[in-house]
Homo-oligomer: A and B are copies of this chain.
Amino acid sequence: MKFEIMRDWLLEGLNDVMKAISQKVANPILTGVKMDVNEKGLTMTGSDSDITICTFIPVEQDGEQIIRVIESGSIILQAKVFSEIVRKLPTNDVTIEVENMQTHIQSGKSEFHLIGSNSDEYPVLPNVKDEYRFSLPSDLMKSIIKETVFAVSQQETRPILTGVHWETDEEKLVCVATDSHRLARREIVPEMMPESPFSVVIPGKSLQELNKILEDNSDVVEIVIADQQVLFKSRNVLFYSRLLEGNYPDTSRLIPSEYKTTVQVNGRKLLQAIDRASLLAREDRNNIVRFSAEGGNVIEVSSNSPEIGKVEELIEAIDVNGEDLKISFSAKYMMDALKAIEGQDIAIHFTGAMRPFILKSMESDAILQLILPVRTF
C-alpha cells in the first residue's frame, strides 16, 4: 500500500472517524482506524461497536487531485497517535507507505514509522438490510437532533429512555425523547416517506455524535433503517448506529389537550430571566424556580435560597390568558426547552400547578416541549 494525500483532507476525514473511536473498548483493535486505499480513493473506518463511522476521500473532487494512489492496500493504525501526527505534519503533502505492517508517514523533513495491524483483524461492518429508507436535508436532521436529544434519560435504569423514539404516523415522522420528568417532541413531514410504517429507538449518544458530523447545509442525508441498525448516509460519510431494543412507552397520552392558563412570551427574554433566577437556586442544588401569572400581562419568576438570598424577575408577557397561576419547576428543564425553541415567541399552556405543562413556538406546531412541575407552593 502506498499513496500520497493532501493533509487537510486526511485530517478532516480522520476527525469524523475519530468521533466513533474510544480508548475504552473491550476489543483493542477498535482503538485503531482502518484505512483502505484503492484506485477510487481512501476509506477510513472507526467504531466503538455501538457507532461505526466510515468516511471516503475520493482520488479527485471538482477537478482537484486529492490522492495519488501508487499501490492499493489496507492497514489498521493506532487512531489517537495517528491523528495527532497528521494534525502536526509540517506540510500539506503526505506520503503513506506500508511495508510488512510498518507504516511510513512522510511529510517535509518529518518521517514517522508506525507499527500497524493487519486489516483482516477489523470487525466486519454491520450489514444493514434495506428495510425502510427515506431522506432528510442535513440541516433539518441537525435541528431534529438538537430539539429532542437533550431530553433523553441520562440514567441506565430504563435503557429505552436513553434513546430518541423515531416513529412514522401517517405522513409524519414523530421524534420523541423523555426522561420521565420532561419530554421533547418534534414532528416532520419528509418529502419522501418510507413505504411502510416503522418505529425505532436511536441511542441519544449516537445522535449527538451524528450531529457533530453533519454539516449545516441542505445536502441530503439518506436514512436506512434495518432490524437492529440505522445507517445515515451523507455524501462521503456513512454513520451506523445500533438501535435500542424494547418498546418505547406511549407518550401521547401524557400531553394535555385542554389548558387553564396560556402565557405568550418572548422565549429569549424568559430564558434570560430564568437563567438569572436560577443563580441562587443552583447554589442550593435543587435548582427550582417559581413562576406566577396573577393578573395583567406581567409574569414573575422568582427563587429563594434561605442561606444566600432571593431573586425576583418581572417579565412583560405578550399575552396572559385564563386562570391565575403559581407553579414551580426545574430551571434547567425550562432552560433546555427554551433553548430548543431558540428565542422565538412561545406559548406556554398550563393545566394547573401540579399538571404537566407544554411549550410551543407561536410560529409552528412542529416542536412541543413538556415539563412536569415540582410541588413547592
Q: Which residue of B lies closest to A309 (CB)?
A: B114
Mask for A284-314, Cβ within 8 A of B = 1, else 0? Answer: 0000000000000000000000011111111
Q: How many angstroms between the C-alpha atoms of A111 and B21 in the bound complex? A: 48
* CB pair A109 B313 closer than 8 Å: yes
Copies of chain A in the complex = 2
> Which chain A residues numbered 79 to 118 have a C-beta less than 8 Å away from chain B?
81, 84-85, 88-90, 102-103, 109-115
Q: Which residue of B lies closest to A276 (CB)?
A: B88
Point out the residues of chain B lying under 8 angstroms from A313, CB to CB.
Answer: 109-111
Q: Which residue of B lies closest to A111 (CB)?
A: B312
Q: Which residue of B lies closest to A84 (CB)?
A: B279
Mask for A315-342, Cβ within 8 A of B = 1, else 0? Answer: 1100000000000000000000000000
Q: How many angstroms between the C-alpha atoms of A90 and B277 in the bound complex? A: 12
* CB pair B315 A272 closer than 8 Å: no
In the complex, whether A275 has a CB less than 8 A from a CB of chain B is yes
Q: How many angstroms between the C-alpha atoms of A57 and B255 in the bound complex? A: 53
Mask for A151-172, Cβ within 8 A of B = 1, else 0? Answer: 0000000000000000000000
Closest Cβ of chain B to A307, distance in Å, is 7
Which residue of B88, B311, B312 is within 8 Å of A272 (Cβ)?
Answer: B88
* CB pair A88 B275 closer than 8 Å: yes
In the complex, whether A18 has a CB less than 8 A from a CB of chain B is no
Point out the residues of chain B lying under 8 angstroms from A312, CB to CB.
Answer: 110-111
In the complex, whether A228 has a CB less than 8 A from a CB of chain B is no
Q: How many angstroms between the C-alpha atoms of A283 and B114 in the bound complex? A: 12
Point out the residues of chain B lying under 8 angstroms from A85, CB to CB.
Answer: 276, 279
In the complex, whether A188 has a CB less than 8 A from a CB of chain B is no
A308 and B115 in contact (CB under 8 A), knowing A283-B81, A313-B109, A314-B109?
yes
In the complex, whether A44 has a CB less than 8 A from a CB of chain B is no
Closest Cβ of chain B to A287, distance in Å, is 14
Q: How many angstroms between the C-alpha atoms of A89 and B311 in the bound complex? A: 12
Which residue of B112, B308, B314 is within 8 Å of A309 (Cβ)?
Answer: B112
Point out the residues of chain B lying under 8 angstroms from A283, CB to CB.
Answer: 81
Q: Which residue of B lies closest to A107 (CB)?
A: B276
Which residue of B90, B115, B308, B316 is within 8 Å of A114 (Cβ)?
Answer: B308
Closest Cβ of chain B to A83, distance in Å, is 10
Closest Cβ of chain B to A118, distance in Å, is 16
* CB pair A280 B81 closer than 8 Å: yes
Closest Cβ of chain B to A195, distance in Å, is 50
The 3 closest A-B pairs by CB, nearest first: A114-B309, A109-B314, A112-B311
| 8 further interface pairs, Cβ-Cβ under 8 Å (given A81-B279, A103-B309, A115-B308) | A81-B280, A90-B272, A102-B309, A110-B311, A112-B280, A112-B309, A113-B309, A115-B309
